[in-house]
Amino acid sequence: MKPITKYTKSGTINIAYQMVGEGPVDLIYIPGWVSNLDMMWKDPKISSFLKQLLKFTRLILFDKRGTGLSDRVKATSTLEERMDDIKCVMDATNSEKAILFGHSEGGVVSSLFAATYPQNTVALITFGIWAKRIYSEDYPWAPKPEEREIFYKLIEEGWGSDKFMDIKTLMPSMSHDLEYIGVFSNYLRSGASPGAALALAKMNTEADITTILSTIKVPALILHRTNDLDCNVEEGKYIAKHIPNSIFVELPGDDHLFWTGDTFSVLSEIQGFITGKRPTKEASQSSQNIKSNIEKIISENFKNHLKIEDFAKLYGKSLSAFKRDFKNTFDTTPSKCLMNKRLEYSKSLLFSTDLQVNEIAYESGFKSSSHFIQSFNKKYKLPPLKFKTQHLKVQK
């Protein structure tokens, strides 16, 4: 279930944030470039990663000023102002000390925060970050000015669509998955307008934290993939070298996004750093097997007139064990999942067939047509036939 979005003030700017979980330590995720809190939970890959973090943390999320659900700002904001956004969210969530988890640009801001507010920082975790975003002889891995200009043009001409070719640089492992590229393109559009995305990119070009790295005194875990196409692995090594109390871990892969590619290794390092215990691959695979088994049972039998007890028997466990595994895996109940599955299927039958309402109810697994109509009306705010009529009118 998506957490409740709340707002707090950073100066005069409204900052959207969420707080979820009851773990023993606060973990604040500072996203890179753009984000949207609501869309994070609709993206199956981002939400899956975040749910794993909930197993050992209280997770705090927010949209930086100018992005997502937070106030849009006219002028380009500074790293210091973005750092203030973190502080105001900590105050709003009564978090006196937290671990900061920063990705890409978010890791740059997190590093500055850790250096400025060590009394409020338990530790720093970064993934795929850079210390500066423009080439110099002492930092040769950053893009050159002409390369940044090409990047700006890509934003202006193709932001939030499959024409924005930098998507393939961010997640090459997903470059052939057109469905997920569509999901992520939607995430980018909801995170910022083309103009805002361009302004943020230009702000990143000016950012430089090379001089403050040595002043970070809290423990730090610097994660970076070997063949990251957006941010060279040598940049991660540089950062770790200049932060006194840091650990550098080079991970396999070429995705710049931590929620694509080999996510298990990323989660394993984070959990090990925070708790001292790494999850085993077997435990992770067991969790995936549970998910696959339940999805298969639901998909193959939701149209049958079965009770939850019957699904538990098909699963091979007691009713309480089935409900527990279901809740832990999907963060909802079997009854709600089945209802949603049946209603979605009934809606497809409503528009793709000439079946009567009572026939659709039977085909979709409802115990009676009255129960179907009542449930349909509750979800879609109209009874089935009126819903179909209204939808067809809109199409015309």
Determine the 3-state secondary structure of 44 from DSSP: helix
Residue 302 corresponds to which tokens in the numbers above?
Answer: 């939701």
Residue 116 corresponds to which tokens in the numbers above?
Answer: 């400025």
Where b means 16+ CB within 10 Å and e means fewer, 190-203 reads bbbebebbbbbbeb
Is the pLDDT at 396 greater than 60? The verdict is no
Between CA 323 and CA 392 the distance in angstroms is: 39
DSSP letter at 119 equals G
- Stretch 315-326: mean pLDDT, rounded? 88
Does residue 183 form part of some domain?
yes
Between CA 23 and CA 149 the distance in angstroms is: 44
Contact partners, residue 358, CB within 8 Å, separation at least 6 = 369
Lowest mean pLDDT across 133-142, 155-164, 267-276, 299-308: 155-164
For the chain, give the percent of residues with pLDDT over 70: 95
The answer to whether residues 116 and 202 belong to one domain is: yes
The answer to whether residues 300 and 262 belong to one domain is: no
Does residue 1 form part of some domain?
no
For the entire predicted model, the pTM comes to 0.74
The answer to whether residues 201 and 264 belong to one domain is: yes
- The last residue of one of the domains, among 232, 260, 279, is 279
Question: pLDDT digit string (tens) for 278-309?
Answer: 877 666 556 678 888 898 899 888 998 888 99
What is the pLDDT at residue 325? 87
The answer to whether residues 174 and 289 belong to one domain is: no
The answer to whether residues 116 and 211 belong to one domain is: yes
The answer to whether residues 205 and 322 belong to one domain is: no
Largest distance between two CA atoms of the chain: 74
What is the pLDDT at residue 165? 62
What is the pLDDT at residue 371? 93
Between CA 66 and CA 204 the distance in angstroms is: 14
Position 283: which residue type? A
Lowest mean pLDDT across 112-116, 156-160, 331-335: 156-160
The answer to whether residues 163 and 131 belong to one domain is: yes
The answer to whether residues 332 and 272 belong to one domain is: no
The answer to whether residues 40 and 164 belong to one domain is: yes
The answer to whether residues 146 and 246 belong to one domain is: yes
Residue numbers of the domain that contains 387: 283-395
The answer to whether residues 243 and 368 belong to one domain is: no
Is the pLDDT at 392 greater than 90? The verdict is no
DSSP letter at 229 equals S
Q: What are the DSSP E strand ranges found in 218-276?
A: 220-225, 246-251
H or E element that contains 197: helix 194-206
The answer to whether residues 224 and 320 belong to one domain is: no
Position 368: which residue type? S
Question: pLDDT digit string (tens) for 345-385?
Answer: 999 999 889 899 999 999 999 989 999 999 999 999 999 99
Mean pLDDT, rounded, of the chain? 91
For the chain, give the percent of residues with pLDDT over 90: 67
Between CA 86 and CA 333 the distance in angstroms is: 34
Does residue 147 form part of some domain?
yes
Q: Residue 135 maps to which CATH number?
A: 3.40.50.1820
Residue 393 corresponds to which tokens in the numbers above?
Answer: 């009118």
Is the pLDDT at 317 greater than 90? The verdict is no
What is the pLDDT at residue 390? 84
Is the pLDDT at 215 greater than 90? The verdict is yes
**pLDDT band at residue 175 using 50, 70 and 90 as cut-offs:** confident
Range with top average pLDDT, 109-123, 179-193, 291-305, 382-396: 109-123
What is the pLDDT at residue 77? 77
Place of tokens 């994660």: 223
Q: Residue 361 maps to which CATH number?
A: 1.10.10.60
Q: How many domains does the chain have?
A: 2
Contacts 24+ apart (CB under 8 A), 214-218: 214/242, 214/243, 214/244, 215/115, 216/111, 216/114, 216/115, 216/118, 216/124, 216/243, 216/244, 216/245, 216/246, 217/118, 217/244, 217/245, 218/114, 218/118, 218/121, 218/122, 218/123, 218/124, 218/245
What is the pLDDT at residue 394? 55
Does residue 145 form part of some domain?
yes
How would you classify the pairing of strands 6-10 and 98-103?
A: unpaired
What is the pLDDT at residue 290? 84
